[in-house]
C-alpha cells in the first residue's frame, strides 16, 4: 500500500488539513493518509492535550474512509525527533510505500534536524507548497532525489493555519468559524478549549 503520514500539532485541525490530505490521496495515488498528532511532550505554545487533538481529528475525518488517525505519539513521554518517529513508522509498516507529508515551511528547515542526511536521502516526501517558498530551489540546493519528492500546490495555506484559528478566536473575529468544521468548533466550545 501507498501510505502518507501527515504529522503536526493540529491544535486544532482545520478544514484545510483534511482537504490537503484528500488532495494527497488523489494526486499522489495514496491508499490512505494517516494523521500523526504530536505528543504532549512538545513544548509548544497553545498545544492542547493529545486527547483533545486526537478527538478533533477523529471528528474532522468522519466519513473519510481512507483517512486514519494515529495515537503513535500518545504515550511518548520524552523528546523525540522526526527521525525517531520515521523509524517507528517504518518498523510498523515494513511492507508499505511510506511518504511523509509536510508543509514547505517545515521541509526547508530539515537540514537543522537530527540526522537530516538520513532524513533527506532515505525517505519519500509529499510537500505542501507555499507561494512564498521556492521549494524547488531548496530541493536542488540539498541535492535531493526528485523521484522521492512530490509537490502539491497548496492554495489553502492561509486557511490551513491552526494559529490563524486561535488568533481569530481570541480576537472574537468570526472568520475562525470558517476554518474548522462546525462539529470541531462545537467540541472546542463544549470542552472550553483555548479559553
pTM of the model: 0.91
Q: Is the model's pLDDT at 179 over the cut of 90?
A: no
For residue 11, the model assigns a pLDDT of: 92
Fold of the domain built from segment(s) 2-190: Rossmann fold (3.40.50)
User: Under a CB-based contact definition with an 8 Å cutoff, are residues 101 and 6 in contact?
Assistant: yes
Q: Which three cell numbers stand for residue 14?
A: 482545520
Q: Show me where the domains of the chain are located.
A: 2-190
Helices then strands (H, E): number in the chain? 8, 6
Q: Is the model's pLDDT at 183 over the cut of 80?
A: yes
Residue with cell 532525489: 145
Q: Is the model's pLDDT at 16 over the cut of 70?
A: yes
Burial class (CB in 10 A: 0-12, 13-18, 19+), 163: exposed
Q: Max Cα separation, the chain? A: 49
User: Under a CB-based contact definition with an 8 Å cutoff, are residues 106 and 126 in contact?
Assistant: no
Give the lowest-confidence range in 11-20, 74-83, 173-182: 173-182
Q: Which three cell numbers stand for residue 1?
A: 500500500
Residues 96 and 1: their CA atoms lie apart, in Å, by: 5
For residue 96, the model assigns a pLDDT of: 96
pLDDT over 90, % of the chain: 59
For residue 102, the model assigns a pLDDT of: 93
DSSP state, residue 157: T
User: Under a CB-based contact definition with an 8 Å cutoff, are residues 110 and 138 in contact?
Assistant: no
pLDDT tens digits, one per residue of 115-163: 998 998 899 999 998 878 888 888 888 888 778 899 998 776 555 577 7
Beta strands in the chain (DSSP E): 2-8, 32-37, 67-69, 97-103, 124-128, 149-152
For residue 72, the model assigns a pLDDT of: 94
Amino acid at each position: 500500500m501507498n501510505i502518507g503520514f501527515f504529522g503536526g500539532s493540529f491544535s486544532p485541525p482545520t478544514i484545510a488539513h483534511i482537504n490537503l490530505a484528500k488532495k494527497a490521496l488523489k494526486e499522489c495515488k495514496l491508499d490512505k493518509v494517516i494523521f500523526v498528532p504530536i505528543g504532549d511532550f512538545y513544548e509548544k505554545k497553545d498545544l492542547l492535550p493529545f486527547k483533545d487533538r486526537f478527538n478533533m481529528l477523529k471528528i474532522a475525518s468522519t466519513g473519510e474512509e481512507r483517512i486514519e488517525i494515529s495515537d503513535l505519539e500518545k504515550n511518548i513521554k520524552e523528546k523525540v525527533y522526526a527521525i525517531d518517529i520515521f523509524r517507528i513508522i517504518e518498523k510498523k509498516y515494513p511492507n508499505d510505500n511510506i511518504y511523509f507529508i509536510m508543509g514547505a515551511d517545515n521541509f526547508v528547515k530539515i537540514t537543522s534536524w537530527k540526522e537530516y542526511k538520513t532524513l533527506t536521502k532515505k525517505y519519500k516526501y509529499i510537500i505542501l507548497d507555499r507561494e512564498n517558498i521556492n521549494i524547488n530551489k531548496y530541493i536542488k540546493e540539498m541535492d535531493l532525489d526528485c523521484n522521492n519528492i512530490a509537490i502539491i500546490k497548496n492554495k489553502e495555506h492561509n486557511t490551513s493555519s491552526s494559529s490563524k484559528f486561535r488568533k481569530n478566536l481570541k480576537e472574537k473575529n468570526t472568520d475562525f468559524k470558517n476554518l474548522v468544521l462546525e462539529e470541531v468548533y462545537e467540541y472546542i466550545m463544549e470542552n472550553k478549549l483555548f479559553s
